[in-house]
A and B are shown apart, each in its own frame.
Chain A
């Protein structure tokens, strides 16, 4: 995520520095007004904390490890403006002193991580946590979402910056002068790593720190929770009541899927390649490129490996497509809940046995 020197052209770096400047200015003015004499010590110590947290080696689900930026934690505890300044400070020290991230790319790194990261994390956290109590599990979920979404949006911005380099800057022979990959390579290359490992690291640290603070120091979570309920709204199943209603509503609305015209790109059955109407739909969603005359051998071979009990959300024993959709939604949700309940039960039994 830390862009080194040489990956972006000086004009891109200057542009991103100029784009970041108004945010830095507004953040500094707001913080000066809000904190006055506390500004310098608070930002200094928090920037130092962010720097150290970036060195933590986080164990992630699946056995791998990753480093987080801690930007969502900063945005949740300090608010977005102080977070912008604290993360920018940590990034400047990393670039100047530890060579992590380029000196010419300080503006770009700050724009991506400090500005996009902080504002996104704060917005997602506020949106998802709503007015829930400080101790509510919903806030842990909101922090997880904030960490995951913010780091991925920051990575997306970096990928876009990389991806435009070969378009704009190349020598007379056509050799790219800076980051060499166009958008079609830069975007997936950056996003795959961030949607999996880096995003997960940010999710774990954000949710974990908020869960810890809820128990140990809930006062630190009040800055970004102005309308939080005074007491916990409920525990266990009770607190998830609105989610159950939402799930039921979504199930009832599933037949709306039938109204969608055309075919979903890439979700074709082997027989679609021999069907004139389906072929037309495939061509329409593929930029008018005609599909092959017959199903590709790989698709035909793999399609016969597994036959779904409810193919295309239409159980064979039902005539009504709407009812088929509804039944599929109920069956799918029920199975998912069952799998999680079984996993929870197995985990609890395993833990009891070990104890």
Chain B
């Protein structure tokens, strides 16, 4: 990946340079961990990416369409089972997916417990918890958690280029697939530039910057990064042209489904149909 690793101290909550550095580093760490996990030999890692993309996307749609909490719960259990058999540690899932989703969606859903009109379950004078409020909060949180877990499983068990190649199987425009692939690549190039810029600035900064100076620094950094990005796109364009690129894009496809992949497809279909039937 080539992304510089920062010492732990830089990740603590500090000034805006440190916080920006921390979010840039956490993105690169997530990507590096995802690549390492995708290369390990778990159950989902061995499945044909096309089957995985289709199966997991279908389950996410069923989670979104389900009208029953038990169906969403069953799909969450299925996602947990897939994670465990694919060597995705639950602690990692909790840190990357469950806690951030719970924090965000929980904050959004909590007031619904009191604000949704319906049959009272508990009343303390000012606040009344309603059955409908509890159900609606449970729907929101369980849907968000389950869908996020399923989409994380896809990325944590499949190298990104394979995900993109699989999208071609589903008639995704080739130009979009290529742009997505190149964007992913250049995210890390620009991420490295941004990290270098902020780290060098941090190493030259003594004392505390004024609010206006911090703002100026952040916007100027974005401006520098913009100029560098556009310059980079020109260089990439010339490099592509020199290699014979004339606007036509071709993607190599060499996936071949085996008996195991068909079994997984059948498994996805069975779980999906069962969950769809329970949650209809």
Contacts and interface: CB of A to CB of B under 8 A. Distances in A.
Interface of A: 4-7, 9-10, 13, 28, 32, 36-49, 51-53, 55-61, 63, 65, 70, 73, 77, 85, 89-90, 92-93, 95-99, 102-104, 166, 171, 173-181, 185, 204-205, 207-209, 211-213, 216-217, 220
A57 B226 contact: no
Contacts of B154: 96
Given A37-B245, A41-B233, A93-B180, A5 B16 contact: no
Interface of B: 16, 19-20, 23-24, 27, 30-31, 34, 57, 60-61, 63-65, 67, 96-97, 101, 104-105, 108-109, 111-112, 115-119, 131-133, 135-137, 139-140, 142-144, 146-148, 151-152, 154-155, 160, 163, 173, 175-176, 178-180, 182-187, 189-191, 194, 211, 214-216, 218-227, 229-230, 232-234, 236-237, 240-241, 245-247, 249
B16 A59 contact: yes
Contacts of A65: 16, 19
Main secondary structure of the interface of A (DSSP, over half): helix
A276 B16 CA distance: 58
A99 to B, nearest CB: 5
Most B-side CB within 10 Å, residue of A40, A85, A173: A40
Main secondary structure of the interface of B (DSSP, over half): helix
Contact of B179 (A40, A171, A178): A40
Contacts, number: 262
B215 A37 contact: no
Contact of A44 (B24, B147, B183): B183
B241 to A, nearest CB: 6
25 contacts: A6-B140, A9-B64, A36-B247, A44-B178, A46-B233, A51-B183, A52-B24, A52-B191, A52-B225, A73-B222, A77-B230, A85-B179, A93-B184, A97-B31, A97-B155, A98-B30, A99-B96, A175-B131, A180-B112, A180-B136, A181-B115, A205-B219, A207-B219, A208-B222, A216-B223
Nearest to A208: B219
Most A-side CB within 10 Å, residue of B148, B178, B222: B222
B187 A173 contact: no
Contacts of A90: 183
A133 B134 CA distance: 57
Nearest to A217: B227
A176 B163 contact: no
A55 B17 CA distance: 11
A59 B148 CA distance: 30
A4 B34 CA distance: 20
B143 A45 contact: no
B28 to A, nearest CB: 10
Given A65-B19, A103-B151, A178 B139 contact: yes
Shortest 8 CB-CB distances between A and B: which pairs? Answer: A208-B219, A6-B143, A212-B223, A5-B147, A44-B182, A175-B135, A45-B233, A180-B112
A179 B96 CA distance: 23
A334 B194 CA distance: 45
A133 to B, nearest CB: 19
